[in-house]
A and B are shown apart, each in its own frame.
Chain A
Amino acid sequence: MDKIKLRQICFYFACVAPSVKFIVYPATLTYEAGNDLLLAALGSFLAQGLVLAAVFWLSSRTDKTFFALLQGAFGKAAARAVYGAFALYFLFSALLPMLEQRSFVMLVLYENVPSVLSYAPFFAVSAFACSKGFKALGRAADLALPLFCTAFAVLIALAVPEADFGALLPVARRGAGIFRGGLFGLNWHAECAYPLFFLGRFERNKGDAAKVLLSFAAGAAAVLLFLAVFYGVFEDIAVLRQNSIAHISKYTTAFTSLGRIDLLFIFAMTLVNVFALCVPVQMCVHCTHAALPRCGRLWPALAASGALLAAVLLLNYSFLEMQQLVTQRLWAVFLLFAYAVPLAAALLFGLREGKARPAPRRRAPQSRRKRAPRSHRGREQARRIHPRKCRGRERARRLHAEKHLRQKRARLHTEKRARARSARQGAPARGGREEGA
């Protein structure tokens, strides 16, 4: 089974997911919300956090996968249909960030040879990553943690001295703009649907939701800090700075003698971004594999990556049009799949499953955990240490004893009746059989 660890989910939300919000998102948010960009982003994060909390509340009440839950409630065909719809949604949701990344690569990482071919090998990497399942996603998140932390810390440290935070005042000046900023930024906040597909694929423990929400809050805090510094550095011209991560730290005076050393950390952040961009494609391949298990993973991975490559080639010069289409017209699609469906699923299945399965206990740390003794003498002790483990064995023993008692009663009853019948006929009887008849 495709497994992932809770720690890796936490790292994903703390380090990998925020990296896609450092390119066009700050400029878009500034365009809509001006100096209130922090409020708009905060609103989106709160909504996302609510969905995450709901999904992890569901995860605390069931150890089934989302597919199994759908199958149990609506049948296999419906489950496949939902997964198929999500596969298409994830594929679609991957498109705009890729176009965004493509223009970032062309404008920031190259100065003299812009070519779509330079970006095309990304799809080979994504196809490889997608064919490996959640293992690649989770372990990449493990590696992304130090990369992201170092790069983010250095870039912010280089940019903060140039920032004027007074530019963020006065607060809440653009009422409708804040709302629009939150709404049009939905495609950058679509990752709250992912944990729905991690259900049943990680070891459940009490306090999982708190850990994930804390990690998510850390990631959100990093994005908010970045947005504040970004607006503090550029103020009114922030809207023109599309590739914000590349511009935020470039005014540091030390660069005259050192060169653009910040580019090394931008490269590190770009690497994390590659991991992040692979995630929606990985989710798409996961959904396709679950809906159509016979396909395996390689073919869906190749197909999804090929389709996205074709789309990127076709929309090579249409980033702005695509951005307007996705953010201003199709925001409802993101609202539906990333927010409404996970919330509805959490409520529906959480209430259903909660009655059947209690929340798991918190596991004791390795050092305090004791192994149950195997010997017969130690069984009582084992029962005390592992009451839940022994519950099934006790129930089986009780059922067996009851069955044995029922059989004994039935045998005695048969013997009694046979004895009575033989007494009526005047012949001696024993054990239900007539002797010497």
Chain B
Amino acid sequence: MPFAASLQQNLKAVKAVLPAEDILVHAFRAGDGTPCAAVYADGITDKKGIAELAVLPLSRQEAPRTAEALQKALPYPETKLPQDVAAACQSILAGDALLLADGVAGAVTLGAKQAAARAVTEPQTSVTVKGPREGFVEDIKTNLGLIRKRLPTPALRPETLRVGRHSQTAVCVLYLDGIADAKVAEAVKARIRAIDIDGVPDSSYIAKFLAQKPLSLFKQAGTTEKPDILCAKLLEGRVAVLADGSPIALTLPYMLAEDFQSSQDYFVSPYRATVSRLLRLLAVAVSLLLPAFYVAAQLFKLRLLPFPLLMTISGSIQGIPLSPGLELFFLLIVLEVLIEAAVRMPKYVALALSVIGALVLGDTAVKAGLVSSPAIIIVALSGISAYTVPDLAGTLSVIRLAYVVVAGSLGTYGIVLMTALILYYLVTSDAYGVPLLAPFAPLVGKDLGDAAWKESVYALRTRPAALRPKNRTRLRLVYRGGKEE
């Protein structure tokens, strides 16, 4: 529906589309007495800015006769001319203000979005000892600003798309032109455009639609809450996706090795970083396999344990009514329940529940002879180890339960077979043409320096080959150790 020349008709048309009570109309007169009005949504619009930069200047001058003249007459920094009433209403809902004047067959939208946003703080899920501490917030513009601050290059290409029939959530796809594989960027955009859903509350919804295997147990898109990590991934040739209302950014294509990297690895000595990475790998293996091997060793393969340890364990498991498999399974379920409760419980009851969880459930269960002490030690070690790679913790906990079931029923060969199955699944999973298990399978020798171990910054001359970046050169060496190359 086009705009009419009459202010009243235009206001009636807008109110017909937006009858909600939080859509406010501020009526005022221009310098020559022409009736004007500003329409905006209460709570998400910067009223002070509208008053100072639009209403006040217009009330001191003669009302323009066209929308273009109205746009030029205002000292407002962000203005647009909406095509019709529907487009204007959409802008109002997005936080903009609509400026109307009697006798003008058009309108001007003022970019006055001002949503309540929390401050930029360090994200709780990726705390670092060394390195930047800024984290993303729920406002997409703030997040884009944080990225732009780190990458002030014209090659950075953000493109905002609207997703959600009702939520109309802004989803921004961004990549570095000339570095990222344009085909991946186009594929991501095409998939986002194809999403037809009523609302998108978080970027994890988008991740489901971007996944090659939506039912997979493993992650299909990388996630980060820190702009420095996101910028590093963009510089490697990945494509990022930001969603308004979510502090978690997605990165594509995703490789499993990413989760074993930490931003701190790049700020400390490469030797220390290598040790950390190997520890993470070991911790994941311990988290997955230790409970299973404990069960299998007790049930099927006693010689796996050294004799003194075997004696200790056999002494402590005497009189336990549950089989080792059931005992471990039960304890792992208790661990999962405790984790779930700890995440959601109010902080003021956390201490009390911790005491109940650790002392009452743990200590008393052992004293009552329901579970053995070694089983509790193994479950605790396994649970702690999983959180060395927090992004994989959820996946690990599910696989760990499956391993315990398999070890309890099929024994050690079951563990071997399950490992083979998982490896076959992982090696045959690709996302946007990039293998999930790269650079290990397929083996990409040049990329191993930043995956299995951490080489010094001089060795990272090229971007990861597995991502097929357009421009592979990352570092041009001029000086190394004081010597000119």
Interface residues of A, Cβ cutoff 8 Å to B = 5, 7-8, 105, 109-113, 117-119, 121-122, 124-125, 128-129, 132, 135-136, 138-140, 142-143, 145, 255-260, 263-264, 267, 270-271, 274-275
Q: Which of B299, B303, B309, B417 contacts A125 (CB 8 A)?
A: B417
Name the B residues within 8 Å of A256 (CB-CB). 306-307
Assuming A129-B424, A259-B304, is B414 touching A121 (CB within 8 A)?
A: yes
Kindly name the residue among A124, A142, A145 whose own CB sees the greatest number of chain B CB atoms within 10 A.
A142
Name the A residues within 8 Å of B415 (CB-CB). 267
Q: Which of B302, B304, B416, B425 contacts A274 (CB 8 A)?
A: B416
Q: Which of A110, A122, A138 contacts B411 (CB 8 A)?
A: A110
Name the B residues within 8 Å of A267 (CB-CB). 412, 415-416
Q: Which of A109, A257, A258 contacts B413 (CB 8 A)?
A: A109
A270 to B304, CA, bound (A): 15
Assuming A139-B442, A259-B304, is B417 touching A121 (CB within 8 A)?
A: yes
Q: Which residue of B lies closest to A4 (CB)?
A: B442
Q: Which of B410, B416, B442 contacts A142 (CB 8 A)?
A: B442
Task: Provide 30 A-B residue pairs closer than 8 Å at the C-beta atoms, listed in order of the A residue.
Answer: A8-B442, A109-B411, A109-B412, A110-B411, A110-B413, A111-B300, A111-B301, A111-B302, A113-B300, A113-B411, A118-B410, A121-B414, A121-B417, A125-B424, A128-B424, A136-B427, A138-B442, A139-B437, A140-B424, A142-B427, A142-B443, A143-B437, A143-B440, A255-B306, A259-B303, A267-B416, A270-B413, A274-B416, A274-B417, A275-B420
In the assembled complex, the CB of B171 is this many whole angstroms from the nearest CB of chain A, namely 32
In the assembled complex, the CB of A165 is this many whole angstroms from the nearest CB of chain B, namely 28
Cβ-Cβ contact count across A and B, 8 Å cutoff: 105
Name the A residues within 8 Å of B414 (CB-CB). 118, 121
Q: Which residue of B lies closest to A273 (CB)?
A: B416
Q: Across the interface, do A135 and B428 meet the contact criterion of CB distance under 8 Å?
A: yes
Name the B residues within 8 Å of A105 (CB-CB). 413
Q: Across the interface, do B307 and A128 meet the contact criterion of CB distance under 8 Å?
A: no
Q: Which of B402-436 contact A (CB under 8 A)?
A: 410-417, 419-421, 423-425, 427-428, 435
A311 to B371, CA, bound (A): 42
Name the B residues within 8 Å of A275 (CB-CB). 420
A109 to B293, CA, bound (A): 12
Name the B residues within 8 Å of A138 (CB-CB). 442
Name the A residues within 8 Å of B425 (CB-CB). 128
Kindly name the residue among B415, B435, B441 whose own CB sees the greatest number of chain A CB atoms within 10 A.
B441
Q: Which of B289-345 contact A (CB under 8 A)?
A: 299-310
In the assembled complex, the CB of A168 is this many whole angstroms from the nearest CB of chain B, namely 30
A7 to B445, CA, bound (A): 11
Assuming A105-B413, A113-B299, A113-B300, is B421 touching A125 (CB within 8 A)?
A: yes
Name the B residues within 8 Å of A140 (CB-CB). 423-424, 427, 441
A124 to B302, CA, bound (A): 27
Q: Across the interface, do B300 and A128 meet the contact criterion of CB distance under 8 Å?
A: no
Q: Which of B301, B308, B427, B440 contacts A263 (CB 8 A)?
A: B301
Q: Which of A8, A260, A271 contacts B420 (CB 8 A)?
A: A271
Name the B residues within 8 Å of A255 (CB-CB). 306
Q: Besides the contacts A111-B303, A132-B424, A257-B308, what 13 more A-B pairs have beta carbons closer than 8 Å? A: A109-B411, A111-B301, A112-B299, A121-B414, A122-B417, A128-B421, A139-B428, A139-B435, A139-B442, A142-B427, A142-B441, A143-B427, A263-B303
A125 to B427, CA, bound (A): 13
A111 to B423, CA, bound (A): 27
A330 to B456, CA, bound (A): 57
Name the B residues within 8 Å of A7 (CB-CB). 443
A264 to B304, CA, bound (A): 8
Name the A residues within 8 Å of B307 (CB-CB). 256, 259
Q: Across the interface, do A110 and B301 meet the contact criterion of CB distance under 8 Å?
A: yes
A136 to B443, CA, bound (A): 13
A142 to B411, CA, bound (A): 27
Name the B residues within 8 Å of A128 (CB-CB). 421, 424-425
A275 to B308, CA, bound (A): 35
Q: Which of B387-415 contact A (CB under 8 A)?
A: 410-415
In the assembled complex, the CB of B284 is this many whole angstroms from the nearest CB of chain A, namely 15
A402 to B11, CA, bound (A): 76
Name the A residues within 8 Å of B304 (CB-CB). 259-260, 263-264
Q: Which residue of B lies closest to A105 (CB)?
A: B413
Q: Across the interface, do B428 and A136 meet the contact criterion of CB distance under 8 Å?
A: yes
Give 10 nearest A-B pairs by CB, closest first. A259-B306, A139-B427, A139-B441, A142-B441, A132-B428, A274-B420, A142-B443, A109-B412, A105-B413, A109-B413
In the assembled complex, the CB of B286 is this many whole angstroms from the nearest CB of chain A, namely 13
Name the B residues within 8 Å of A274 (CB-CB). 416-417, 420
Name the B residues within 8 Å of A263 (CB-CB). 301, 303-304
Kindly name the residue among B419, B424, B443 whose own CB sees the greatest number of chain A CB atoms within 10 A.
B424
Name the A residues within 8 Å of B410 (CB-CB). 117-118, 121
Assuming A129-B424, A140-B423, A140-B427, is B437 touching A270 (CB within 8 A)?
A: no
Q: Across the interface, do B416 and A270 meet the contact criterion of CB distance under 8 Å?
A: yes
Q: Which of B190-246 contact A (CB under 8 A)?
A: none
How would residues 261 to 300 of chain B score, 1 for a CB under 8 Å from any chain A CB and 0 otherwise? 0000000000000000000000000000000000000011
In the assembled complex, the CB of A398 is this many whole angstroms from the nearest CB of chain B, namely 35
A138 to B423, CA, bound (A): 12
A124 to B414, CA, bound (A): 12
Q: Which of B86-134 contact A (CB under 8 A)?
A: none
